[in-house]
Structure 1
């Protein structure tokens, strides 16, 4: 479903140019859930933004569903294949647009018919129901806003969903609900996920495989069982896992 080969992403021009991603390589099979983990600033979210076309200063090869991506993602077909759920549900929804308008505009842009029925079905699928249809973002909790953002992404009936820290801006009590919702949606629709997270426990729960990033480079790939066992090969990946699971109190 997704192939990344020798991906480089940068910002600015020499001598101030910043190389955010350096020679990244990975692939994601149809129906698989793949994680990108690492410290803040390691390039995880930048890869997702390059895939979607939000960043156009990149080189290398990006292939989605067998199609090589070049230039800006203007085709309707691309956006029917790939959608993204952003980190902050407070920023990703227009404050003056109702849930109905958010979803109906997306459905119209994708050329969908039976808009009313589709909106009702989408709200049911994300656990909101039709009672939320005419509410505005300020009338919703953080978890409810993220459910709307997920419904908006699903409106295009994508095959690949990019998840950029989808629960990090939410209360801990709500995070598990959203993660379980995403697991259910993936199973029901046969979707492929690429998830960025700093939380290794989330990745271990959500993903089949993952890549560890450091300073813009992918330094190791492993499956979720290896992550859960703390059996990474490299020293940095082992230290990252250890830091996420426990700490030693100084005496």
Structure 2
């Protein structure tokens, strides 16, 4: 579903150029859930944004469902295949647009018909129900807003979802609900996920494999079973796993 080879992403120009991602390569099979983990600033979200066409300063090769993508231009066919769910549900929804307007616009942009029926189906799919259709973002909780954002991403029946820390801005009590929803949607719709997270427990719950990143590079690609066992091959991976388990006694 996704093949990334020798991806470089940078910002600015010499002598102030910042190389955010350096020679990153990985593949994600159809139906797989693949995690990108690492400390803040390691380049995880930058990779997703480059794939999604939100950054144009990149080089390398990115193939989605066998089709190469170039620069920041993405056509309708790409966005029918790939959608992204962002970290902050408070920022990703227009405050003056109702849930109905958000989903109607997404469906229209994807060239869908039977929009009224599809809106109701999307709301049912994400566990909101039709009573939320004409509410505005300020009338929704953080978890409900993220459900709307997920519904919007599903509007075009995509095959690949890019998930950028989809629960980190939510209360702990709500995070599990959203993760369980994403697990159910993946199974029901045959979706492929690439998930960025700083929380190894989330990745351990959601993903089949993961790449550990440091300073813009992939340090190690591992099976999630190895993560659960704490069996990283690289020193940095083992340090990250230990740190995620809590503070060590001096």
Task: Give the TM-score taking structure 2 as reference length.
Answer: 0.99
Contact 1:52 1:73 in 2 (8 A): no
Match of 1:7 in 2: 7
Give 1:219 deviation, angstroms. Answer: 0.7
Match of 1:83 in 2: 83
The 3-state SS of whatever aligns with 1:194 is: strand
Gaps of at least 5 residues in structure 2 are none
Q: Following the alignment from structure 1 to structure 2, what is the Cα–Cα distance between the partners of residues 71 and 246?
A: 41
Contact 1:209 1:223 in 2 (8 A): yes
Give 1:73 deviation, angstroms. Answer: 3.1
Contact 2:99 2:132 in 1 (8 A): yes
Question: Which is worse superposed, 38-47 or 72-81?
Answer: 72-81
Give 1:70 deviation, angstroms. Answer: 1.1
**Structure-to-structure mapping, 1:67-216, within 5 angstroms:** 67-216=67-216
The 3-state SS of whatever aligns with 2:23 is: strand
Post-superposition CA distance 1:28-78 (Å, at most 9, x none): 000000000000000000000000000000000000000010123331100
Match of 1:16 in 2: 16
Q: Following the alignment from structure 1 to structure 2, what is the Cα–Cα distance between the partners of residues 24 and 247?
A: 30
Gaps of at least 5 residues in structure 1 are none
Contact 1:43 1:216 in 2 (8 A): yes
2:43 is the alignment partner of 1:40 = no
The 3-state SS of whatever aligns with 1:116 is: helix
Contact 2:126 2:151 in 1 (8 A): yes
Match of 1:63 in 2: 63
Q: Following the alignment from structure 1 to structure 2, what is the Cα–Cα distance between the partners of residues 195 and 84?
A: 10
Give 1:156 deviation, angstroms. Answer: 1.0
Q: Following the alignment from structure 2 to structure 1, what is the Cα–Cα distance between the partners of residues 31 and 118?
A: 23
Aligned length: 250
Q: Following the alignment from structure 2 to structure 1, what is the Cα–Cα distance between the partners of residues 233 and 105?
A: 47
Give 1:223 deviation, angstroms. Answer: 0.4
The 3-state SS of whatever aligns with 2:14 is: coil
Q: Following the alignment from structure 2 to structure 1, what is the Cα–Cα distance between the partners of residues 89 and 114?
A: 27
Post-superposition CA distance 1:121-140 (Å, at most 9, x none): 00000000000000000000
Post-superposition CA distance 1:54-105 (Å, at most 9, x none): 0000000000000010123331100000000000000000000000000000
Contact 2:50 2:72 in 1 (8 A): no
The 3-state SS of whatever aligns with 1:148 is: helix
Q: Following the alignment from structure 1 to structure 2, what is the Cα–Cα distance between the partners of residues 72 and 213?
A: 23
The 3-state SS of whatever aligns with 1:92 is: coil
The 3-state SS of whatever aligns with 1:225 is: helix
